[in-house]
Amino acid sequence: MKALFKSGMAILLTVFFLCTGCGENNPEQQPRDNETGEAGLTSYVNPFIGTAPLTDPEVIGYTPPENWRVWAGLVYPGASLPNAMVQLSPITEYGSGAGYEYEDTEILGFTHTNKGHWNLCNIPVLPVSGKAEYPFKSAFDHKEEQASPAFYQVFLKDYNVGVRLSSTLRCGIHEYTFKNPADRKILLDLGKANNRVSDWDIRLIGKNRLSGFQQMGKEKIYFFATLNSDIENIEIMDKGESNGYALAELEDSDEAVILRIGLSFVSSENARDNLKKEIGNKTLDEVRSEGKNTWEKLLSSIGVSGGTPREKELFYTSLYRAFLWPALRSDSNGEFTDESGKRRKEDFRYYTIPSLWDTYRNKLVLLGLVAPDVTRDVIRSLVDRGKIRDFIPTFFHGDHAAPFITGSYLRGIDGFDLEKAYELLLNNAYKEGGTRPFIAEYIEKGYISDPQVKDPHVESKGKAGVSKTLEYAYDDYALAQLAKAMNDSVHYEDLIKRSENYANVFDPSVNFMRGKLENGQWITPFNPQYPYYEYMYREANAWQLSFYVPHDMPGLVKLYGGKEAFESKLDSLFTIPWDTEYIARNVSGFMGQYCHGNQPDHEAPLAYYFVGKPYKSQQVIDNILENYYGIGADGLALAGMDDAGEMSSWYVFAAMGLYPLSPADPEYLATVPVFDEVNLRLDGNKPVSIYKTSKGRKLKEIRVNGKVRTSCFIPHELFRKGGKIEIFTEE
């Protein structure tokens, strides 16, 4: 078989150098929290980065239609703990990506779940006063708004209420300071969420406790809340309906209102138990302090020195964003509702399905490095779902549980049912009707076809056959590595052969990955610059998919006709201007034809390594780091969708100088870090330090523990043993 970019095929660095010493930098003073004055890495985190709109046509790549918000950022500024059940955040528009859009001027409520993907935003709560009427909302000013990990604060102008929020894993705590002690009310806008609410209920228990649920299709979210103020009356309008709500009228008082609320995906009783165990009688400041400490511990797993304050802000904000999803779904007593709707209790924490199409590329690798215990339980949750479905589930496209589970296992994460996971992943790879659509055609032909479409446009329907073929080929490679670890030579040989199927959609006459018809003919007419949502390509054009072979880059270089031809084509990817007439809402943030605003080509900047010119990759990487994050008039926009932390994780890896080009493989491609020193203190591993020894950005040499590397790949084994990586550069 081909050597799939292993050490024997690694690119050699041929430049000679003079040996120079590298002294360790002195630790820099940590920043201080704007409100509390306490030192900490959380002060570098700006949760508003990614909430602002992308408006500059030069950055977007085209002029958006009127009243059309480009799908960029789609993040929220509210309180959360890492991978928690609760994300307590303001909502300014239902049906928007994360519910909060920075350009909006009114807050509709504070919701308790979030992801940033047009769903969730459950259990909306809003303090109101006086003669407030439906539709309830209040103006606010960003000058009176603050956010940091596990904390959010704002002043509601229409109701004269100061709001402070914090959260635990499964609970939220609200503090409302009403300027007027009379006519204080709390809205529970239970007919609304980003998903369609099919039913809801609420009931008053005693004088100051509330219990109820929201139902969205099969999913039911329960809550239990307590207040420090008595409820004199509760008005319920159109119970269970989408336009219905509940309005709790509170007794008059000068005292701030404290609302403590627990959530559960099992029962109201469990929500009450979660609240008792996680918050009890704690104050908001106590909850906030505990949350800040939790984030400090996580963020301190990667320490940096050197770099500008802005680079640190972007780095730690990105690291923070990477740990908000997947989300916890089991209660403090261990119970959860499984895939079949059954209430169960197991010896692991139950999590949502990760956003695998987006985050298998980098975020789930980062999750495994920093939080292996969470990663283990995420895999156990996937396997549990697979036992019910008979297939390991995916998210959106591809079969990327294969590289996620394989890569995690090869990096040392175990403690899950490996044999069952492997059995289910084999089902994915071989059985029709499960995770991989059109798998029978793929096995028979070695590619997935698309229909002939007359005059195709952006939203033309098809099989996304090129994308599926390329992704299945990589997933086959990933599963082959697990087969090898399982000593299953039969499946290994078959899957490794199938991993070469990427070549079946490469048309050498045009040097692009190109769609095929069922009869094997190339689809015509063919325009490599035109983007599609799911015709031939998934959310991409031919340029953006034609460099995606992370498991066999040397083989891809040969397809193009050798290094010179490949380099020339790659140069064109980053220089041929995007056609401003081609508008796809979730494809934005271009460098030539390369799109950093969406995931399908995020590996392409590293491709120059395979023609022996890593410095050209570094030029592209540096451009992205400097000009595609924290941009726009307020410095708060992203060039594209964060997509559950994938775009953020790209920044984290690129900034610290290690990128998991093939996430199924336990190794990282070394680049030039932004910082002079990066110290990784990862759970279950030995410390690893990365030193950039000079100011230049052109990679010259890599040393690991004092020894020169002839390969640009750093094996994960270094994290198990600990050590030092030195990056030597020149101007």
Tokens of 593: 């034809």
pLDDT above 70 for 25? no
For tokens 């592209």, the residue is: 620
- Band (pLDDT 50/70/90 cuts) for residue 276 is very high
Per-residue HEC secondary structure of 384-445 comes to HHHHHHCCCCCCCCCCCHHHHHHHHHHCCCCCCCHHHHHHHHHHHHHCCCCCCCCHHHHHHH
For 222, list phi and psi in degrees, rounded to 5: -100, 155
pLDDT recorded at residue 419: 98
Residue type present at position 709 = R
Q: Classify 686 as helix, strand or coil.
A: coil
Q: Parallel, antiparallel, or unpaired for β 723-730 and 688-692?
A: parallel
Per-residue HEC secondary structure of 699-723 comes to EEEEEECCEECCCCEEECHHHHHCE
Tokens of 565: 């031809």
Q: Which residues contact 38 (CB under 8 A, 6 or more apart)?
A: 32, 292
Q: Which of 131, 189, 124, 122 is nearest to 160 (CA)?
A: 131
Q: Classify 39 as helix, strand or coil.
A: strand
- Band (pLDDT 50/70/90 cuts) for residue 39 is low
pLDDT above 50 for 27? no
214, 189 in Cβ contact below 8 A?
A: no
* Continuous segment of H or E residues that includes residue 483: helix 465-485
- Band (pLDDT 50/70/90 cuts) for residue 38 is low
- Band (pLDDT 50/70/90 cuts) for residue 667 is very high
Tokens of 234: 């509760």
210, 125 in Cβ contact below 8 A?
A: no
Tokens of 644: 């559950």
Per-residue burial over 678-690, b if 16 or more Cβ lie within 10 Å, else e, is bbbebeebeebbb
pLDDT recorded at residue 9: 34
Q: Report the chain's terminal Cα–Cα distance, integer Å.
A: 39
What is the percent of the chain where pLDDT is above 70? 95
* Continuous segment of H or E residues that includes residue 273: helix 268-278
| Omega prior to 525 cis, within 30 of 0 | yes
pLDDT recorded at residue 724: 98
pTM of the model: 0.94
pLDDT in tens, 601-660: 999 999 999 999 999 999 999 999 999 999 999 999 999 999 999 999 999 999 999 999
d(CA 484, CA 664): 13
611, 605 in Cβ contact below 8 A?
A: no
pLDDT recorded at residue 585: 86
466, 513 in Cβ contact below 8 A?
A: yes
pLDDT in tens, 371-423: 999 999 999 999 999 999 999 999 999 999 999 999 999 999 999 999 999 99
